[in-house]
Structure 1
Amino acid sequence: MAGPAINRPPTPAPASGGMAGKLAVVLLVILSALVYQHIQPPPPTICGSPNGPPVTAPRTKLKDGRHLAYKESGVPKEEAKYKIIYVHGFDSCRHDALPISPEVAQELGIHLVSFDRPGYGESDPNLARTEKSIALDIEELADDLKLGPKFHLIGFSMGGEIMWSCLKYIPHRLLGVAILGPVGNYWWSGFPANVTRDAWYQQLPQDQWAVWVSHHLPWLTYWWNTQKLFPPSSVITYNPAILSEEDAALMRKFGMRTYFPMIRQQGEYHSLHRDMIVGFGKWDWSPLDLKDPFAGGEGKVHLWHGAEDLIVPAILSRYISERLPWVVYHELPKSGHLFPVDSGNADAIVKSLLLGDDLVSSWHTHCTSPPCS
């Protein structure tokens, strides 16, 4: 005898494989768009644009339409014996020029030009910035300001690294170069593994990560230095752990810059982060391959570094000076990274560049066989 009929709900048909695949693709696209939006840096707030910061400095217009803001000091260029272009470092601007004393500038007849590098201060960002483009910017700036066929260069920190680019791309325009506490790229060819390893591990772990990201994953540099999951670059956040004893004292002076907000006003990506991407990026050449630009004896390249530098390890500078005998190396045994901020040091540096080593030998330790003791 048959039992009562039971009304069961209809069995649902299995989902179409095509439908599930389409749903997965849609979700992946949405997720990718959200991630892309999160890691994408905001556009720059360009000076002089309708919603951008005002233009307050004199600026020159380059051939590609960008502007460079600059500042002149010292004696008038028409009366100057020496014309020097100064290239500022990381998180700095034209106001952070080498503090040469007025007395020395007058005595030697120095006309000093400093400028905001692209993306800093009031200079337009260069969305196609490379290690070569900044050297060509400097050459064009010199021509626009009528500094003559040749001039001297001084660069500090990230600006010091840029001096190698100038020695490669515009050596015919240079009378002499001073390279101060230069940033080094751990991936430049020619460094022995033990040299780069020792320099690498002198950094804080958070800086190792920040530098690694800027080299291997440059498109993540903005996100890495703005996210809250991991500590970003200690240089960007002014971590006191990277200051030597001397630097801590100098930072009280350096940190009192009333114009500091102006430095990053066009966006941290287009100033700080682009600096890291280019400075630690993939170069197709190395300073270790450079030839003496002053083989005829008409100029000198001076490389200065503080032995107690905790921001930029001196190891790479020591090795470069060993490999390039035409580089005059000065290592300051008790100094950190900020030694050029001191006006007495600045005067000694510029006298050494313009007049020769022997005039300042009592002040610094001149290393012919680094490291210094």
Structure 2
Amino acid sequence: MLLLALLVRQLQAPPPKVPGTPGGPPVTSPRILLKDGRHLAYHESGVPKDQAKYKVIFVHGFDSCRYDVLRVSPELAQELGIYLLSFDRPGYGESDPHPGRTEDSIAFDIEQLADSLELGDKFYLTGFSMGGEIMWSCLKNIPHRLSGVAILGPVGNYWWSGFLANVSWAAWNVQIPQDQWAVRVAHHAPWLTYWWNSQKFFPASSVIAFNPAILSREDMAVIPKFAARPYAYQSRQQGEHESLHRDMIVGFGKWKWSPLEMENPFPAGEAKVHLWHGAEDLIVPVQLSRYIAEKLPWVRYHELPTAGHLFPVVDGMPDVILKSLLLGDE
């Protein structure tokens, strides 16, 4: 019984440090209250909302927070009238945890956020990395609210139905072995995810451990800027399990549907979907995005031949991405 109790203790993650509670991080940003009682913290940038022509919600990626928004130039924001709204996804930064989150739930959080801040009937949406994967959920669940979507270096789930075996296998083998194991555990044994990524017997997720082996040449050039973020600590301040491990469990979990089987959510051409990916991405293999774009003709695909995973951080790229989304420029 003692051994069993010790084993259970090793497998169980500590409780999250909920923002605004004793022992939890302080609440320093504005937050909205969702229908289920949770809070979402948000950050506004660009031009003032009441002066904006374009209202864009940005969804951050893995190990990030609300401040990791597209750095659109002030000149372009003023010229086009761009208002940017970013937020902490559940369990990140100052947003409350959501232990019951699924591949679908975040889309409805975003819809409530837009309504609480009175963005109107429709808005633009863009997401990066794990936030890019979330764009598929929004396209499935709230397409009637979207004026356009930009999907940036999206995480792909190797077990989505519709992938040819050789495509998913080729992408799988781009990962280094420790990430293959970390992703395999998140999918097949989610209850082991905390232990797997906190034990010291063998390597856990290289993304969590900041292993430079997963950075392309262009990523290495921009990583100093990414690593120097003064707010980076906020990403994990509720505990790695609540933010990072739950992200892996949902992102690589057993989805009830597959983006590859989606029909065009905008059959009348009322909105455009742009998918961007770096061909040299060693964190999120490009093969999955290539195949998705091939199978979904309504997705406009942009492949950057020398870019790695961090291309949205490169100077000038946020302007290129937003101009393409808002104006239809290539």
Under a length normalisation based on structure 2, what TM-score does the superposition of the two structures give? Answer: 0.99
For 1:272, the equivalent position in structure 2 comes to 244
- CA distance in structure 1 between the aligned counterparts of 2:128 and 2:23, rounded to whole angstroms: 32
For 1:368, the equivalent position in structure 2 comes to none
Moved more, 309-318 or 256-265: 256-265
Does residue 299 in structure 1 map to residue 299 in structure 2?
A: no
Q: How does 1:188-199 map to 2 (within 5 A)?
A: 188-199=160-171
Please state whether the residue corresponding to 1:148 is helix, strand or coil: coil
- CA distance in structure 1 between the aligned counterparts of 2:45 and 2:233, rounded to whole angstroms: 22
Deviation at 1:293, TM superposition (A): 1.4
For 1:235, the equivalent position in structure 2 comes to 207
Please state whether the residue corresponding to 1:55 is helix, strand or coil: coil
Give a deviation string over 1:318-366, Cα, whole Å, max 9, x none: 0000000000000000100000012301100000000013xx4xxxxxx
For 1:324, the equivalent position in structure 2 comes to 296
Output the amino acid matched with 1:47: P
Give a deviation string over 1:277-318, Cα, whole Å, max 9, x none: 000000010001111111111110000000000000000000
Give a deviation string over 1:158-185, Cα, whole Å, max 9, x none: 0000000000011111010000000000
For 2:141, the equivalent position in structure 1 comes to 169
Q: How does 1:66-215 map to 2 (within 5 A)?
A: 66-215=38-187
Deviation at 1:30, TM superposition (A): 2.5
Does residue 344 in structure 1 map to residue 316 in structure 2?
A: yes
Give a deviation string over 1:34-60, Cα, whole Å, max 9, x none: 101111000001110022111000100
Please state whether the residue corresponding to 2:98 is helix, strand or coil: coil
Bigger relative contact order, structure 1 or 2 (CA pairs below 8 A, ≥6 apart): 2
Give a deviation string over 1:65-108, Cα, whole Å, max 9, x none: 10000000111111111100000000000010011111111111
Give a deviation string over 1:218-272, Cα, whole Å, max 9, x none: 0000000000001010000110000000000110110001111121111100000
- CA distance in structure 2 between the aligned counterparts of 1:77 and 1:52, rounded to whole angstroms: 31
- CA distance in structure 2 between the aligned counterparts of 1:57 and 1:256, rounded to whole angstroms: 21
Output the amino acid matched with 1:59: R
Output the amino acid matched with 1:36: V
Please state whether the residue corresponding to 2:84 is helix, strand or coil: strand
For 1:22, the equivalent position in structure 2 comes to none
Q: How does 1:238-253 map to 2 (within 5 A)?
A: 238-253=210-225
- 8 Å Cα contact 1:202/1:310 also seen in 2: yes
- CA distance in structure 2 between the aligned counterparts of 1:285 and 1:47, rounded to whole angstroms: 33
- CA distance in structure 1 between the aligned counterparts of 2:75 and 2:315, rounded to whole angstroms: 11
- 8 Å Cα contact 1:135/1:165 also seen in 2: yes
- Where do 5+ consecutive residues of structure 1 fail to align? 1-28, 361-373
- CA distance in structure 2 between the aligned counterparts of 1:71 and 1:53, rounded to whole angstroms: 17
Give a deviation string over 1:166-213, Cα, whole Å, max 9, x none: 000111110100000000000000000000100001000000000000
Output the amino acid matched with 1:139: E
Q: Identity over the aligned pairs, expressed in percent?
A: 72
Does residue 48 in structure 1 map to residue 36 in structure 2?
A: no
The number of residues matched between the two structures is: 330
- CA distance in structure 2 between the aligned counterparts of 1:297 and 1:174, rounded to whole angstroms: 12
Moved more, 322-331 or 260-269: 260-269
What is the CA RMSD across the aligned residues, in angstroms?
A: 0.7
- 8 Å Cα contact 1:71/1:113 also seen in 2: yes
- 8 Å Cα contact 1:101/1:343 also seen in 2: no
Which of the pair has more CA radius of gyration?
1
- Where do 5+ consecutive residues of structure 2 fail to align? none
- CA distance in structure 2 between the aligned counterparts of 1:148 and 1:339, rounded to whole angstroms: 30
Under a length normalisation based on structure 1, what TM-score does the superposition of the two structures give? Answer: 0.88
The structure 1 segments of at least 4 consecutive aligned residues displaced by more than 3 Å after TM superposition are none
- 8 Å Cα contact 1:47/1:55 also seen in 2: yes
Q: Alignment partner for residue 193 of structure 2, among 218, 221, 224?
A: 221
- CA distance in structure 1 between the aligned counterparts of 2:87 and 2:169, rounded to whole angstroms: 34
- CA distance in structure 2 between the aligned counterparts of 1:318 and 1:263, rounded to whole angstroms: 30
